[in-house]
Amino acid sequence: MATVGRNNNGTRIITRKGIFESQAAYDAIYGIKTPPEPVISDFIKVIDGKIVVNSDVTLNGNLTTGSITNTIIGDIQDTIAETNPDVWSKDDAIPTTIGGIASGTVGQTLDGLTAIQILEKLLYPYQILSFSGFSVGLPISQTVEVGTTSGAGPYTSTWGFNNGSNLTANSISITGLTSLASSLSGTTSSVTHPVYSYNTPTNLTFTISANQTTGGAATRTQTYSWRKKIWYGKSNLTALTQYSDFSSFSSIFTQNLTSVSSANYSFAATPSDDQYAYIIIPADSSYSKIIDNDTSFPFAYLSPVNITIVNSLGVSLPYKYYRSSTAHTSALILAAGV
């Protein structure tokens, strides 16, 4: 069994002969300058599958605290396998994902784990942190008409977690146009916002992020959209010139941020009054066809007419409208296609 001595620098040295107070004493007895290097198994122990090494032992400069050469690592792995055959010692990559051990995991990363520890990894895989919900809490709907304003001020943001036990403490942050809050904890916080107001179609996205004990950060977003409107309805007017001519019509937001999509428009019957059917859309969009759903034939309408309106929020916008060729008393469902 190897023992420990000290060299001239005061560092303990390992020899197979005994303990010597100085290198000179060793030389005097054995007539050699450098003691034979012991094997790694002479001074490591494996306890519950873990390597225990004296931290201040120097092995010919190869082993120091926090520095272990690849050769010594190999020796340590061999020693573990020899002294404790119930711990993992294979270096091959794992071919198939099983439980909490993913396919491709290098076997060497499992070295030293006991059979019980391997089973725990298989049966109790890490539960990834995720957000179950997130609301910034602005005082507007998530989809609004261009020109809508969300005033500055503190608003209460709320969120929830799945597998929240794996959250890193005080690691939650919220960003919008800029960083809004950081080092948050819990599931709610008062967050100060600037004014948000857009006169052109815009998406404003907020992101919440949180670190977890293993793996990358968990994130979730919430988006507010400023969009143009589409109006549709019946009127006695033979032409539209201003917003008030159709402000009482039914309306929807453009299906896409900056353009319209194919859609069906329903018009109520006007039994006592022949009226024209109108569809008013942003000027930068177009419909290539309008079909009468009752007959499946093309619906007769005039060429689209361009107008400029000022909406209820004071924003001047270019639009175009489609008008039926004739007035109708009957209900209509018109399928407009792009």
**Angle ∠(256,258,262) on CA atoms, nearest 5:** 45
Same domain, 313 and 240: yes
Question: Is 316:309 a contact under the CB 8 Å cutoff?
Answer: yes
* 87: alpha, beta or left? (left if phi > 0; alpha if psi -120 to 50): beta
pLDDT truncated to tens, each residue of the chain (338 aa)? 444 444 444 444 444 444 445 555 556 555 555 555 555 555 555 555 455 555 444 444 444 444 444 555 555 555 545 555 577 666 777 777 777 777 777 666 777 788 787 777 777 788 899 999 999 999 999 999 999 999 999 999 999 999 999 999 999 999 999 999 999 999 999 999 999 999 999 999 999 999 999 999 999 999 999 999 999 999 999 999 999 999 999 999 998 888 899 999 999 999 999 999 999 999 999 999 999 999 999 999 999 999 999 999 999 999 999 999 999 999 999 999 99
Residue of 283, 279, 272, 257 lying closest to 336 (CA atoms)? 279
Please report, as a single letter, which amino acid is at residue 139: P
For residue 283, the Cα-to-chain-centroid distance in whole angstroms is 37
Final residue of a structural domain among 125, 152, 186: 125
Same domain, 63 and 110: no
User: What pLDDT, on a 0 to 100 scale, did the predictor assign at position 126?
Assistant: 83
> 267: how many CB neighbours lie within 10 A of its CB?
22
Same domain, 157 and 96: no
Using DSSP, state whether 30 is helix, strand or coil: helix
Same domain, 233 and 323: yes
Same domain, 50 and 116: no
Compute CA distances 294 → 272, 283, 332, whole Å.
21, 28, 8
Same domain, 149 and 206: yes
C-alpha to C-alpha distance for 305 and 322, rounded to whole angstroms: 7
User: What pLDDT, on a 0 to 100 scale, did the predictor assign at position 47?
Assistant: 55
User: What pLDDT, on a 0 to 100 scale, did the predictor assign at position 3?
Assistant: 43
What are the tokens at 100?
Answer: 């909490």
Which residues have a Cβ under 8 Å from the Cβ of 157 and sit 6 or more positions away?
A: 134, 135, 136, 137, 174, 181, 188, 189, 190, 191, 208
What are the tokens at 43?
Answer: 């001074």
Q: Give the pTM.
A: 0.68
C-alpha to C-alpha distance for 94 and 98, rounded to whole angstroms: 9
Same domain, 154 and 114: no
User: What pLDDT, on a 0 to 100 scale, did the predictor assign at position 105?
Assistant: 73
Final residue of a structural domain among 202, 226, 250: 226
For the chain, percent helix, then strand, then coil, each to nearest 5? 15, 40, 45
Using DSSP, state whether 83 is helix, strand or coil: helix
Rg (CA), the chain: 38
Burial class from Cβ neighbours inside 10 Å (0-12, 13-18, 19+) for residue 337 reads exposed
Q: Which residue has the tokens 């050469």?
A: 69
Q: Which domain holds residue 245?
A: 228-337
Final residue of a structural domain among 51, 83, 115: 83
- Residue 320 forms beta bridges with which residues? 281, 306
In total, how many domains does the chain have? 4
Question: Is 23:15 a contact under the CB 8 Å cutoff?
Answer: no
Same domain, 76 and 92: no
**CATH number of the domain where residue 206 is located:** 2.60.40
Same domain, 140 and 120: no
Same domain, 135 and 161: yes
Please count the CA atoms within 13 angstroms of the CA of 305 that sit on its side-chain side.
16
Same domain, 236 and 262: yes
Same domain, 17 and 75: yes
